[in-house]
């Protein structure tokens, strides 16, 4: 049986054939590689909605602060302090700790006294705060963050765990480990063990030790174009497939690190099915007994379902349980999120 990477490489001809004159014109008008826009048409079903997506990517998502109750006396006091600096804060529906920030304050959000004291973490957009909530970690848990730098999700997990239990934060890059440790220290995280290692090696070191695993996998960032417009042209189709292959290895390792029946949340800041549903489909082949489960609902979040078919390749009905977030419909970064249960 061919791997999904081989299948995806074989789809290149079909992708190229879908670059119609209308697709090419739309890609040129917004500065994208044509193959990307052709895939968006396949994903969303029409040029009209694709134009809405591309227009939404013209602007960055709103800056977002997450109140960190490991340091902040209260979220109300944090809001009061930041509003005193000239900012406006609006709480998101899914968490009383997360606020979208507007206005132009007298001090940069990354340089306030409250930031330096660890009262909040500054996210690039509100969508990044959703995965830790879906994982459902609590004070008595053993949790793995398999690609933890720079620490936004790891520190949120520690906050939700009330600095209890055990959080193992893994990062392979020496430079990014330094950033991760700095952020965790600033935010008052005391229940985390930071390990500089390849996430693929975690099962051989820890075994099936973790009832909850978060994998926010490195990706092409095809959901962050509003933050980094160079992503419109940076990634070739072959780059995308190589990213898929790395993500499969990481997700297989994450599933093999989870306790029997444990929860594994896979997420990427990408809207590419090659990095979403296709990764999950391949990992399910490698880890018999693993399955996709329905994620819990969050207030005010109405995600699009995952895609069950991609250029004629069938994934399965399980993909409907995965989440897709888009800037033009959800006001967040582009995200793919999927909750899996490790084999018993």
67 in active site: no
283-322 burial, b at 16+ Cβ within 10 Å, e below that, comes to: bbeebeebebeebeebeebebeebbeebbebebeebbebb
Cβ–Cβ under 8 Å, residues 92 and 144:
no
Using an 8 Å Cβ cutoff, are 5 and 245 in contact? Answer: yes
Which helix (H) or strand (E) segment holds residue 217: the answer is none
Q: Half-sphere exposure of 307 toward its Cβ, with a 13 Å CA cutoff? A: 24
> Both tokens of residue 266?
């896979």
Number of H helices, E strands in the chain: 14, 15
The catalytically annotated residue of 67, 75, 219, 269 is 269
- Give strand pairing partners of 266: 215, 338
Cβ-proximal residues to 109 (8 Å cutoff; 6+ apart), any chain: 63, 65, 82, 87, 101, 115, 122
Q: How far apart are CA 328 and CA 232, in angstroms?
A: 17
For 6-58, strand residue ranges (E) read none
Q: CA-based angle 238:244:250, to the nearest 5? A: 145
Active site members = 269
């Amino acid at each position: 049986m061919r791997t999904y990477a081989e299948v995806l490489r074989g789809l290149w001809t079909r992708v190229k054939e879908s670059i119609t004159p209308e697709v090419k014109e739309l890609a040129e008008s917004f500065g994208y590689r044509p193959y990307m826009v052709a895939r968006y048409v396949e994903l969303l079903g029409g040029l009209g909605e694709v134009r809405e997506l591309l227009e939404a990517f013209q602007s960055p998502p709103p800056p977002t602060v997450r109140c960190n109750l490991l340091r902040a006396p209260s979220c109300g006091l944090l809001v009061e302090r930041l509003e005193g600096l000239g900012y406006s804060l609006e709480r998101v529906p899914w968490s009383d700790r997360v606020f979208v920030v507007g206005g132009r304050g007298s001090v940069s959000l990354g340089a306030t006294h409250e930031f330096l004291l660890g009262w909040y973490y500054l996210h690039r957009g509100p969508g990044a705060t959703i995965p830790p909530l879906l994982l459902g970690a609590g004070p008595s848990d053993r949790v793995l963050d398999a690609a933890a730098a720079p620490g936004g999700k790891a520190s949120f997990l520690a906050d939700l765990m009330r600095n209890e239990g055990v959080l193992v934060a893994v990062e392979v890059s020496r430079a990014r480990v330094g950033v991760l440790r700095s952020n965790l220290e600033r935010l008052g995280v005391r229940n985390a063990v930071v390990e500089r290692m390849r996430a693929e090696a975690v099962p051989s070191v820890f075994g099936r030790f973790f009832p909850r695993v978060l994998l926010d996998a490195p990706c092409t960032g095809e959901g962050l174009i509003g933050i980094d417009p160079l992503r419109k042209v940076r990634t070739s189709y072959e780059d995308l497939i190589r990213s898929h292959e790395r993500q499969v290895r990481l997700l297989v390792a994450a599933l093999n690190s989870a306790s029997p029946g444990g929860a594994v949340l896979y997420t990427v800041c990408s809207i590419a099915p090659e990095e979403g549903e296709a990764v999950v489909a391949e990992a399910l082949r490698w880890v018999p007994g693993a399955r996709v489960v329905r994620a819990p609902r969050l207030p005010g979040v109405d995600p699009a379902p995952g895609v069950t078919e991609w250029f004629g390749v069938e994934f399965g009905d399980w993909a409907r349980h995965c989440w897709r977030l888009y800037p033009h419909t959800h006001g967040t970064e582009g995200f793919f999120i999927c909750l899996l249960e490790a084999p018993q």
